[in-house]
Amino acid sequence: MSNRNVMQKRLDKLREYIALLRKIGKHSKNKYINDSLIHGSGERYLHLAAECALDIGSHIVASRKLGSPGSYREVFTILGDAGILNSALTRQMEDLAGLRNVLAHDYLRIDHAKTYAVIKNELSWIENYIEAVEKFL
């Protein structure tokens, strides 16, 4: 499978996660926070979206020999330094990497109101990331 096909599969999967998150975001904040199945689904899809975005970024960094990120956050920093992401999008995606770490490792202290806010207000970051990657490819 070509590099472009590998990337396109991941970009398509990322779009799928965004669509699912948008459906979850149709619930009220109160329903989201108080329903474990709903916030659990939202947080899982946020985690998967972050992992997918990181996988795409890591693939670009490695294939273009842009550096060796020491953390998930640095994947996006390197993409920004290479001009693939603008500075605002770089910071937003670095924040997504931080959220990914909370969802993966600090699950005892997840703030459901915060994850709801991300789902309601910040999915455009990921859509902008997809656009930037496609423009780069």
Give the CA radius of gyration of the chain.
15
CATH number at residue 102: 1.20.120.580
Question: What average pLDDT does the structure give for the chain?
Answer: 96
Contact predicate 17/49, CB 8 Å: yes
Q: How much is the pLDDT for 50? A: 98
Q: How much is the pLDDT for 20? A: 99
Q: How much is the pLDDT for 108? A: 87
Among 33, 32, 72, residue whose Cα is nearest residue 51: 72
Among 123, 112, 96, residue whose Cα is nearest residue 34: 112
Distance from C-alpha of 51 to C-alpha of 6, rounded to nearest angstrom: 15
Number of domains in the chain: 1
HSE toward the beta carbon, residue 46, CA cutoff 13 A: 34
Express each pLDDT in 81-108 by its tens digit.
999 999 999 999 999 999 999 999 998 8
| Residue 30 CA: distances (Å) to CA of 20, 24, 46, 67 | 19, 13, 19, 43
Provide the domain limits for residue 95: 3-136
Mean pLDDT of 17-33: 98
Contact predicate 6/59, CB 8 Å: yes
pTM: 0.94
Q: How much is the pLDDT for 79? A: 98
